[in-house]
Structure 1
Amino acid sequence: MDQPLMDTVPLEGSFSLEVPECFSSLAEARDLFEYYSYVFRHEYHKLSNLDVTSLELGAFIQTCVSLFQKWSGALDQFEKTRGPSLTTREHVGLKILQIQRCIQTMLFQHHLSGTTDPSGWDMYNPIFQEIVSLAASVVELSGDRSPSTPEADPSGQRRFKPSFTLDMGIIGPLYDVATLCRDPLIRRRAVDILRSASRQEGVFNSYVCAVAAERVIALEEGVALESTGGFSPTLAGQRPQYISRCSEVPGTARLLYAYPKLDIARGEGFLKVGRGEGIEMDLPLPAMAAMLDAED
């Protein structure tokens, strides 16, 4: 590269670009993470558009990983030294940063693996599980701050007091878990948390993302069951028509991407999904249209 990594964008904020051994506050940890994340994306996009070798691109990724590991170590040290004295709100902030760490760790590992096989996400089930556990703690801690006790809806699932924030928190990561993880228990637990959370984080709504994720799960598992005749042989004979492990969802059943899309002019919501060989579809998502109607 012609310029050092940190010279590509202007410094924003008063925090230092050097990663300390221990963060002085959660705000410092968050600001540094967001800054580095921006620089990483900026540089990666620039390099991807240049005629660079795979070795040069790999060296850049390794630099990113090294910086990220330093950041992660400083966050661990902060938790070790300040953990017992953190307020409930600070515990929530710490867990959200830990969720972001999980996501970033997974993305770096996935990129370095070089795999393009959709089944490559299966190796990250432990990380997906950790994200779900951390997100559940965030919802529980946030609910504890509500003056009222969460009540169960008709399905028996607890619902928490609605919350709104401009910051990204748990919705995006939980949606990623529900759509990228094919373990039936982990991805459904992610959906359950989205449904119970009643959260709005920027443009992300937990209920809409839960409905969209359920649609993705139904699509993938439906195709998987059709391709196997609805059952798989076991030692005891045949099992009921359901997916019991991620390996039962073949690559041909997995979507490459799926995300909610809103057409404000038409007052309609869609789930844009992509399969292999350039196949792309917009599937109706009534939950988004219903939310628009409610706001009129």
Structure 2
Amino acid sequence: MMTVQTEKQRVKRTRARTCRVRTGCLTCKIRHLKCDESKPECKRCIKDQRKCDGYSKHVPIRSNHNRPWSVTVLPHKPEPSSPCFGDMMLVDRTDNALHHHARVYAAHDLISFDTGRGFWQQLAFPLSHIVKPVRHAIIALGGAHRCFWASNPAEGALVHADVKNEAIQKYNEAIQCIQLVMTGGFEESTQTTLTCCVIFICIENLLGRFSHAVCHLHAAIRLLNCHRQKLQHPPSSKIPDIYGLKRGHSTYDDDMHDIISEMIYWLSQNVALYTGDLYVPELDWHPCIPSILGDETLPFSSLQEARESLSYLDFVYEANFNSDTTSADIQRQRSCPLPLKALSHHYTNAANLTQAAYNVWSSRLDLFKRSMSGVQLGPHEQQSLAWCELQQALWRAFLNCSDGGYTKENSCHILERVEDILQIESAQTRPVFKFDGDLLSSVGFVCTACRDGDVRNLAISLLRSIRRREGVFDSQEMAGLFSRMASVLDGKVATWEALPWGATRLSLELSRLSDTS
């Protein structure tokens, strides 16, 4: 039966004409929910057991009611030559919240000691305010990082399809803008493209799509080398002549390209460890090497000096190891559990020359620790010292490695140093993402290089106990991979000597053995 409505009943109901509240917490903004604005954490986030990301700072707007009318003539500003460049503001609430998350939370994970600070603080984040593809990429990074946080099973309720969809949408928009920039032939295109490449790699790693990350890495290396050849930069003269060996190191005069090159270099090292390759596509850039390690009877002046001096050890070993390596050697090392086992003659020569440099570095670090005894170190200094001690343990195990792999004592020492770092980071309850990192690869070396089954099981248990991703390494995936490897070894399906090193090759070999058994 139809009902006849009166004029009063047909009146459209509207909201009161008041300003919408836009001061809610960033988490509620992303979720498009009303926020009670309690501080320091809103009650809705506490009730839903979510992380409250806090509140944006708002600049109070002065009232113009009592000011006389005036006309301001704005100077003419020509339109930018490209639609992808120019001043811009984040007006979308979701974009603003994800951009904030990238700058505050993702950046904390992406910057480790001296690596990454220049790229994110001097290049990527400033460019995100004026360059559209970089802005989209940073917003996508914020969304991918929030999704990674939500990957913790204990916080499964945090998984939001809208955040992931927003991240993927911004990711696609960034790629579309990059294509416009590259076809436009603008001077900023190379820097913008390379900046986005680094951000894309981080996004793919956060989403667990490692093969896509490697594709972006190879593209960035090709573009960097092509750009350097175009500019015809001369080789750097900062690299010392060590033991009569000279190596062609190049860097860009442009500081920004040098910053990007550093990021690409460390990413390539991370990927090489993951895939089991000693050699990655040649990048015409290497870290600046200190000319000397100093007097072994004197302590390092700071932890920064100790960290920077480590690059000297890498250079000495690589220069001697690679000096007479052939393509046949490269093929042989890919089928062995440790790269040094296939190239024992190269390893012996390089290790002997590196041992002297390591002794100096290790002695100076020990003297520094003694000089700092009784001094209360802050969290950052504690973490830096623990990282140096981990490198000390890794080099000791590597240089004293025999055909039987790492010794039980040296392997346990590595695991202890990893646990020290994890203990310092114990306040972090969410999954941790690092741009490159050394913890997971260090535990991986113990799993593949130590024959002792008990030590291997300790390493696997350590991986299972944490939620951590470092570049392309993921703790849970590594735990599963090495558990399969342990089962193969314990069941005598294969011998330790027959298994390849590197996660990708090891996974393929284990799958093959599973199919044939």
| Shorter-normalised TM range | 0.5 to 0.7
Identity of aligned residues (%): 22
Post-superposition Cα deviations, 1:154-183, rounded to whole Å, max 9, x if no partner, equal: xxxxxx432122242210111111222232
Query: What residue is the counterpart of 2:377 in the other structure?
Result: 86
Greater Rg by CA = 2
Kept in 2, the 8 Å contact 1:128–1:177? The answer is: yes
Kept in 2, the 8 Å contact 1:194–1:206? The answer is: yes
Query: What residue is the counterpart of 2:490 in the other structure?
Result: 221
- Please say if 1:64 is aligned against 2:339: no
When the two structures are superposed, what TM-score results if normalisation uses the length of structure 2?
0.38
Query: What residue is the counterpart of 2:413 in the other structure?
Result: 130
The alignment partner of 1:86 has SS state of coil
When the two structures are superposed, what TM-score results if normalisation uses the length of structure 1?
0.63
Please state how far the C-alpha of 1:131 moved relative to its aligned partner: 1.0
> Which of 287, 309, 319 is the equivalent residue of 1:32?
309
The alignment partner of 1:200 has SS state of strand
> Which of 468, 471, 490 is the equivalent residue of 1:199?
468
Unaligned runs of 5+ residues in structure 1 are 147-159, 225-250, 263-269, 275-279, 285-296
Post-superposition Cα deviations, 1:98-120, rounded to whole Å, max 9, x if no partner, equal: 2222222222222xx5x3xxxx1
Query: What residue is the counterpart of 1:109 in the other structure?
Result: 400
Unaligned runs of 5+ residues in structure 2 are 1-240, 250-285, 328-343
Superposition pairs for residues 162-201 of structure 1, below 5 Å?
A: 162-201=431-470
What residue identity is the alignment partner of 1:23? F
The alignment partner of 1:164 has SS state of strand
Query: What residue is the counterpart of 2:268 in the other structure?
Result: none
- Please say if 1:8 is aligned against 2:247: yes
Please state how far the C-alpha of 1:67 moved relative to its aligned partner: 0.6
Please state how far the C-alpha of 1:259 moved relative to its aligned partner: 3.0
Post-superposition Cα deviations, 1:30-80, rounded to whole Å, max 9, x if no partner, equal: 222124213421331113349xxx999856532211011100111111211
CA distance in 1, matches of 2:449, 2:502: 12
Kept in 2, the 8 Å contact 1:178–1:191? The answer is: yes
What residue identity is the alignment partner of 2:459? A
Q: Which shows bigger deviation, 62-71 or 8-17?
A: 8-17
Kept in 2, the 8 Å contact 1:132–1:186? The answer is: no
Name whichever structure is richer in strand by fraction: 1
> Which of 263, 273, 276 is the equivalent residue of 2:509?
273
Query: What residue is the counterpart of 2:422 in the other structure?
Result: 139
Residues 27 and 9 (structure 1 numbering): CA distance in 2 closer, same or farther, change over 3 Å?
Answer: farther
Query: What residue is the counterpart of 1:98 in the other structure?
Result: 389
Query: What residue is the counterpart of 1:19 in the other structure?
Result: 294
The alignment partner of 2:292 has SS state of coil
Please state how far the C-alpha of 1:5 moved relative to its aligned partner: 4.5
Please state how far the C-alpha of 1:23 moved relative to its aligned partner: 1.6
Query: What residue is the counterpart of 2:504 in the other structure?
Result: 261
- Please say if 1:73 is aligned against 2:342: no
Kept in 2, the 8 Å contact 1:92–1:138? The answer is: yes
What residue identity is the alignment partner of 2:360? K
In the TM superposition, structure 1's runs of 4+ consecutive aligned residues that sit over 4 Å from their partners are 9-12, 54-60, 280-284
Kept in 2, the 8 Å contact 1:259–1:272? The answer is: no
Residues 185 and 161 (structure 1 numbering): CA distance in 2 closer, same or farther, change over 3 Å?
Answer: farther
CA distance in 2, matches of 1:61, 1:258: 20
Please state how far the C-alpha of 1:90 moved relative to its aligned partner: 2.3
Kept in 2, the 8 Å contact 1:163–1:199? The answer is: yes
Please state how far the C-alpha of 1:214 moved relative to its aligned partner: 0.9
